[in-house]
Structure 1
Amino acid sequence: MKKFWVLFSLFILPLVFYIFLSKGIYKYSNLPILTEKVIDVKDFTSNGNSSFANNLTVVCFLGSDIKEAKASLFNLNQTVYKRYYQKPFFQMFALLPKESESEYKAVIEELSVFTDIKNWHFVYTNSENIQSLFNSFDTPFQLNENLYSENAYIIDMELRLRGRKDDEDTEGGKLYGYNMKSVSTLKNKMKDDIDVIYYQLKKSAEKQKRRKREI
């Protein structure tokens, strides 16, 4: 029996680990681009530091009905933002109608009590700008009459919408956005997919370092 366990640890365990690692590398080397170019938020903000470019951005459209959006906002904050806000390049943007600014002030203050919101950006603008930005994502979804979407979206460093093409829970397999009402979706899908992008960024940085050493 002892001999069996010695052989198992020497041969079988390394093989299992290699198979697991290989599958992980395959997973982390692929996160589809669903839309090539989206509008940059800087096109309609006065803040020169607000931009999707060269950042990893999660975008949500909260609309004017605070009762409809509050649970989504807090789910996204607790499940995703708190995990990544200290990582390089990470930021979150919430698009909101201008007329809702005073209503959201109290909610944002409530959020800041238990969250460092330095990488949360709340952009108030007109309905045309919100609709234009949303349309540039080129998804099969629509904003409702309050300019709210139940989904959050991942925009990469090059202004591309990222998601899945083989999602088992989505008709046709394409996952354009992540349902903020579902903690399990945010936890099991969105977090995994953000990890994929960070893995890709890490591998890209390693390649650049190797190239510099070779020059």
Structure 2
Amino acid sequence: MRLRKKWWARPEMESSPLVIINPKETAGKWNIEFENNNDIYLELGCGRGRFITNRAQQNPSINFIGVDLKDEVLIYALQKLVEAEVENARLIPMNIAGIGEVFDKDEISRIYINFCNPWPKDRHNKRRLTHTKFLTEYKKFLKANSEIWFKTDDTELFEDSQVYFKESGFSIEYLTYDLHNSDFTQNVVTEYEEKFTSLGMKTMFLIAKLL
């Protein structure tokens, strides 16, 4: 679905201390931005912000960063953070392809990837956020033994991703093809997840650990 342009979104985001408009300038200095040395968890493709808002509320001693490309989506994430009075989260409007330039070595302790584009055509596979091309970038700033939590409703992407993780030096610590009927208790349901679960679609989930 094509998003309607919201011309007011960018000025509102630029005026908020929760939005980092030029994130490359903060690389290596995220502890200064958050004014603490707490672990930083990164959500790639944060959408309308329910997930990052809930995580930040539940974990005040952890810092969170959400990344998404569209102002028309991120503005809703910003509104959720403001309404919840969350201070331990930041948003970055950018293309995730450039994520390697935003953080320095060992700055990130966990990555969340929730329902990313499956890019099913072979010629587009390298655009997948779990592809070895992206995993190589993440490894530049992930701490040792950090985890990537990955959710999807696309079976082909889920199975291909298991291969990508293993090829890139990650071990699969947890895996289920039916998250909502599993023994995993730490799930936060995204807007997308709620919608498609109501239609009977299953959510697949894994935790990959950087060795």
Q: Smaller-chain TM-score range?
A: 0.3 to 0.5
The structure, 1 or 2, with the larger RCO (C-alpha pairs under 8 Å, 6+ apart) is 1
**In proportion to residue count, which structure has more helix?**
1
TM-score by length of 2: 0.37
Bigger radius of gyration among the two: 1
* Structure 1 or 2: more strand by fraction: 2
